[in-house]
Structure 1
Amino acid sequence: MPETLAAPSRRAVLAGFAGLSALTLAGCQTGRNPRIAQAGAVAPRRVIDPYYLQMYAAMPEEKYPVPAVDLSKLDPVYFRQVVPYRTTERPGTLVVDTPNRFLYLVMENGEALRYGVGIGRAGFSWGGRARIAYKRAWPRWTPPSEMIERQPELEKYRNGMEPGLENPLGARALYIFEGGRDTLYRIHGTLETWSIGRAVSSGCVRLLNQDVIDLANRVPNDTPITVIQGPSEAPAA
């Protein structure tokens, strides 16, 4: 387990968001007046804080330029943000709260940096304690044999799919090992904004590309990770 990380101040963490261009979406549903709807009027567009627009702006400097996130397509609760978080986990630990679709990077002083995530569908879930063995920028994706059996169209990727925006692992991948064994689960990036906050992937934890880039920049190899499956296990935020 790595040494306890010194927690940056709230101001420093938030300032780092824009610089690292990590990814999270904003999207607030606005109710429509039935009379206005009947008249064919269009509800006013939600105003998005420029701070978040910058946080999820395009990243042309990446090897494969990452487009800006359409923040109108995601509930703002899944924006990357510092939140109060009570836990017995050491600062520097990652906690995946599967029921609530959040990933927390535990900080000091009862706080955590929270990211919105998409998680595995029922039947493709995993929970427990493990570690991030290593990280990769723009990784190749190799589907497991079991996945190829379920989806024969993936046979062409048996030896790996080249990196890029269409690669399912996105801009970064963090590889989860349990002891010395590869669990085959990853924390990785995605362009699919709609999938954040949902159970859609084959067991992996997906973040917006901007967010996974931010996360990968913050955590070292051998970072401990806890994946919570049941609501009763989740520490109070």
Structure 2
Amino acid sequence: MKTRKTATILCTAIVLVLPCLAKATPVGTVDIVHDGYGASDVLTIYGGGHSGLNGYGGVYMLDKTAGTGQGNIWSNGPIGGFCIELHQWSPDTTTKYDVVALQEVNNSFMGGVMGAAKADYLAELWGRFYNPAWADGGPYSGEEKGMAEAFAAAVWEIIYEDMPASPLNWDVTVDGSAGSHGFYAQNVNSALANSWLNILDGTGPKAQLMAFVNEGKQDFLVQVPEPATVCLLGLGWLVFLRKRRTA
């Protein structure tokens, strides 16, 4: 009886989410504007159409003022995210973004969608090494700024390089891809970024991530807030319970 009651309560919560889950992407919208930075520092970027661009790497603070669908998973107010589209610029006025599954993000510079393999790498990178203190309003220490900057470089390495044969081949100091693909950075703690990238073997914790995307503006990588993550995981738990009862 207790199991049935728990499952009923969980199911009620999940039913509220299922209409959004059933839709094709986008699964919602958010109205956001770039509102400064969390922990971050200036590095030199080679990739995504840039050759020697000095720009901020680290947490982008996004001010959300409205949303629809799964966009309402995030409360209005500040959201910390990471840039995942170097050839676009962040929104300086409030702009409507679509909320999409990370693996379905289309990067026009790379000529296709991100795909599940890169999305998994990003989920594990975030799950292992992201620090929420990088987006808590500051002030930020030099160490925090350097770590968030290295994290951004690791994100861009995954997005802009071709998939390596092994995570040991990720290297933010070298452009390892043919043609216009590829990424490397200078004036960043590359040893730290590479140490993170090189141990992404699929066994670490993986964060629940989504993307905010807009065709004419920079796209952002964001984490699903924890209560929503629990609800999404609960859907899998209900399936497990059902299988046990019918086995």
Task: Name the TM-score class by shorter chain.
Answer: under 0.3
Query: What is the TM-score with the length of structure 2 in the denominator?
Result: 0.24
Which has the larger share of helix? 2
